[in-house]
Amino acid sequence: MKKVGVLSLQGDFAAHGAALQRAGAEPVYVRHADELAGLDGLVIPGGESTTMLKLLRYDGLMEPLAEFARRKPVFGTCAGAILMATEVSAPAQESLGLMDMAVERNGYGRQVDSRVTSIKPEPDFERRTAPGKLEAVFIRAPIIRRVGAGARILARYGGDPVLVEQGPHLAATFHPELSADLRVHRLFLEKL
């Protein structure tokens, strides 16, 4: 069984652990750098990216996570996707810079803010998982404003990318761990 770390400093790590378990992997809740040893991949959950960043610095996890990501796949959702991006705005903040993309925090603004919606994923996503619409739970989500040339967009909402793959890594601005559909987690597990 694949062992997948879930960064558990803050945010909805428990929901990711449960989703990974339902998808057939063993979740390992990670709070210290030495717990990264022996993992096949890592999930950075949603939550509040500024708080998570403070805790990452405080616990000396920035460099160990960047080093882990050079060897193994990382999947970030919402605040996790913000931490993975190379460029963060509104406001700008430091990040791990694991994926070449620009994100604008809380980019959907007040009208959308938080909502549950149904999106049609890109054909590539359906081919690699299973056909059908995807429930997308947005909670004060960032907007992905730019992706690098090497990125593959797997789903969009209102024209903007919401699920992006770049090499071994995956980022979602919504929360697949809060939906019953396990296709996004299964896709990540296939990358390990």
Q: Please give the positions annotated as active site.
A: 78, 175, 177
The binder of ligand GLN chosen from 105, 169, 183, 185 (CB under 6 A): 105
What angle is formed at CA 49 by the lines to CA 44 and CA 50, rounded to 5 degrees?
145
Residues sharing a CB contact under 8 Å with residue 28, sequence separation 6 or more, in sequence order: 3, 4, 5, 6, 35, 39
Q: From 25-33, 42-50, 120-128, 177-185, give the range in contact with ligand GLN by CB under 6 A.
A: 42-50
The binder of ligand GLN chosen from 74, 85, 96, 139 (CB under 6 A): 139
**Contact call for residues 39 and 27 (beta carbons, < 8 A):** no
113: number of Cβ within 10 Å:
12
Is the bond leading into 91 cis (omega within 30 degrees of zero)? yes
Q: Contact between 53 and ligand GLN (CB under 6 A)?
A: no
- Give the tokens for residue 51: 């708080």
Q: From 17-25, 45-53, 55-63, 176-184, give the range in contact with ligand GLN by CB under 6 A.
A: 45-53
Q: From 47-55, 56-64, 125-133, 176-184, give the range in contact with ligand GLN by CB under 6 A.
A: 47-55
**Torsion angles phi and psi, residue 149, rounded to 5:** -60, -30
Q: Contact between 78 and ligand GLN (CB under 6 A)?
A: yes
**With respect to ligand GLN, which residue has the nearer C-beta, 20 or 85?**
85
Q: Contact between 48 and ligand GLN (CB under 6 A)?
A: yes
**Torsion angles phi and psi, residue 182, rounded to 5:** -100, 10
Q: Give residues in contact with ligand GLN (CB under 6 A).
A: 46-49, 78-79, 82, 105-106, 139-140
